[in-house]
A and B are shown apart, each in its own frame.
Chain A
Amino acid sequence: MSSRMVAVRAGLQRGWIEFRQSTTNGQDLWSVMFFPIISLVVMFLLRHNTVPGTGFSLGSQSIPGILGMNVVLNGMVALALSLTMDREDGTLLRAKATPNGMIGYLTGKVLSRTGTAVVGLLIPLIPALFLFDGLELGGVSSWVTLVWVLALGLVALLPIGAVLGSVFNTAQGMGFVTLPIMMLMGVSGVFYPISAFPEWLQWLAQVFPLYWLGLGLRSAMLPETLAATEVGESWRHLETIGVLGLWAIAGLLLAPVVLRRMARRESGSAVAVRRQKAMQRTM
């Protein structure tokens, strides 16, 4: 077996260990479930409101969007955060000091984040199915759609997370990323159909992957008739594949360059400086 394959396999082990850690640790599990739990509670209170022009519960309509948002949080944002934290505590430098360690590190990271994102989608789905009427997940086609949308969404989101995590030097700097993402959530139709928004806002939302991930998940989980409430009165699968695919290609081209540049700068003194800054912040 080549040394790189050995590292990929070590990365698989790494991914499993990290996934297990984040799903057996109360604090991590809470951060995975925090957003959907709060959102589900709010939408449960609003379940008697209906989607404009239909008798369909607004609460039920929002479930796929909330789950999509959670994929963004647990996939992209958490990956970016863990990259900055791993640079602060020296995990990344350890990978650099190990032969083919970066291959193993990234394999593990992508795997554990994917696992956590999937768990973050599936677990809230269970109470949602009991609490909200109208979700249709009985058919095979629903699950097929869910799987490809989720897979494509992750391929689009994870490289962006890697880029963000490389660009921002500290976990604190990542705070500047969270705010625009929250704003993006507001305009991306997570809680409310964007067809009700001004046209310029609709265009803005459709540039980013979050809207398309939500749309794809809605197409998987909601009745066919709800397509009428979307932009273009359709689930627009082709467009979904197009936009998410473009983000994926751009991310996959950019991420290795940015990651390599970031890794090249890592050294013991760089970690020490960052550590000192982190300690000054907490004092």
Chain B
Amino acid sequence: MDAGDNDHRPGDPVRPLPPSQGAEPVIETHGLRMRYGSADVLHGVDLRVHQGEVVALLGPNGAGKTTTIEILEGFRRRSAGEVRVLGVDPDDGDEAWRARLGIVLQSWRDHGKWRVRELLDHLGRYYTPYGTPRRARPYDAGELLGLVGLTDRADAVVGTLSGGQRRRLDVAIGLVGRPDLLFLDEPTVGFDPQARREFHELVQRLSDLEDTAILLTTHDLDEAEKLADRIVILAGGRIVADGNAAELAGRVSGKAEVRYSRDGEHHVESVEDATGHVRELFATYGEAIGDLEVRRISLEDVYMTLVHEFESGRRTEAPSELTEVAR
């Protein structure tokens, strides 16, 4: 789609072009594994992200989200498996490759003495040689500040920004090279509700207007549902669910939670056919059934159930009904 971004630029060593980008995913991993010492953190992750797509990577702490992202960013060498990011193996990614990535990590506190606009201008300069006719690099600092709502703080010293403002500056810096692919690691931690909403609007604008693919991690399921075209749940170093919000919701809405008491003892069951199940309950136990409650399972419930099952070791294989949601 955007092969022009791989054009040879003067002054850079000639780099073989990756095969035609037509249908090539922006991120593609096969059997990605990571092992620290004797502990396996990733057990074969297969992940695809396409141009302009927003994918949310969910999972409990220690599920391997950060490790996955750091491998994709080229900050960490994998133990095994195939990885292509923008058509390049991140372990061999050169500076021209890096120029097409935007990275927003959790814990930036850097450049505290710099002024907001000064820093954005400065970091933008490095991207100048990597511009293409279709994608001018870098972003204009003033325009970018407007985009993240920091125009009135342009001359502020970075160290004096509030938590939410700092985070928005981090996002602006991640965007300054007008990336084809943006990594957002828990972008809205510490945001107040208004800042969060503004940020969500920004992310939607980015993927719509700039055709930027975004891979974000979050603990906020509402956020994932609102922002992401597709949700990937990682638990215990494996992908246990992969599908867009509607598909996942469709998958789970057939299931419902049935709560009831029988002879004073409480039961909770998750069933496909709630009505049939309840009919059966009454047919079998009649008067003994009380406190009946039928509830559709929310995304949060699915997430909690899956993660809990993985953590307690009851499930070692991904549930077949959730992994292969077709794209």
Contact = CB atoms under 8 A, between A and B. Distances in A.
Q: Do A and B bind each other?
A: yes
Most chain A beta-carbon contacts within 10 A, residue among B11, B96, B185: B11
A21 B98 CA distance: 29
A166 B243 CA distance: 44
B129 A1 contact: yes
Given A6-B126, A9-B125, A90 B96 contact: no
Interface string B103-129: 101111111111000100011011111
Contact of A10 (B11, B110, B126): B126
B106 A272 contact: yes
A99 interface: yes
Given A3-B130, A99-B95, A271 B105 contact: yes
A271 B103 CA distance: 14
Nearest to B123: A98
Q: Is the interface of A mostly helix, strand, loop or mixed?
A: helix
Interface residues of A, number: 34
Contacts of A9: 125
Interface in B74-88: 75-76
Contacts of B9: 3
A268 B106 CA distance: 7
Contacts of A89: 108-110, 112
Interface string B229-267: 000000000000000000000000000000000000000
A166 B76 CA distance: 19
Contacts of A229: none
Interface in A121-143: none
A25 B129 CA distance: 34
A27 to B, nearest CB: 10
B11 A99 contact: no
Contacts, number: 100
B178 to A, nearest CB: 12
B26 interface: no
Interface residues of B, number: 39
Interface in B56-89: 66-67, 69-70, 73, 75-76
Contacts of B105: 90, 93, 268, 271
Interface string B146-185: 0000000000000000000000000001000100000001
A21 B119 CA distance: 13
Contact of A21 (B66, B113, B177): B113
A268 B66 contact: yes
A159 interface: no
B114 A99 contact: no
A14 B108 CA distance: 19
B11 A5 contact: yes
Interface of A: 1-7, 9-10, 13-14, 17, 21, 25, 86, 89-91, 93-94, 96-101, 104, 266-269, 271-272, 275
Interface of B: 9-12, 66-67, 69-70, 73, 75-76, 95-96, 98-99, 101, 103, 105-114, 118, 122-123, 125-130, 173, 177, 185
20 contacts: A3-B11, A3-B129, A5-B11, A7-B126, A86-B110, A90-B108, A90-B109, A97-B73, A97-B103, A98-B127, A99-B98, A99-B130, A99-B177, A100-B126, A266-B75, A267-B73, A268-B69, A268-B70, A269-B70, A272-B106
Given A90-B110, A99-B98, 12 more contacts: A2-B12, A3-B95, A5-B11, A17-B122, A91-B110, A91-B111, A93-B105, A96-B75, A97-B73, A267-B75, A267-B76, A268-B73
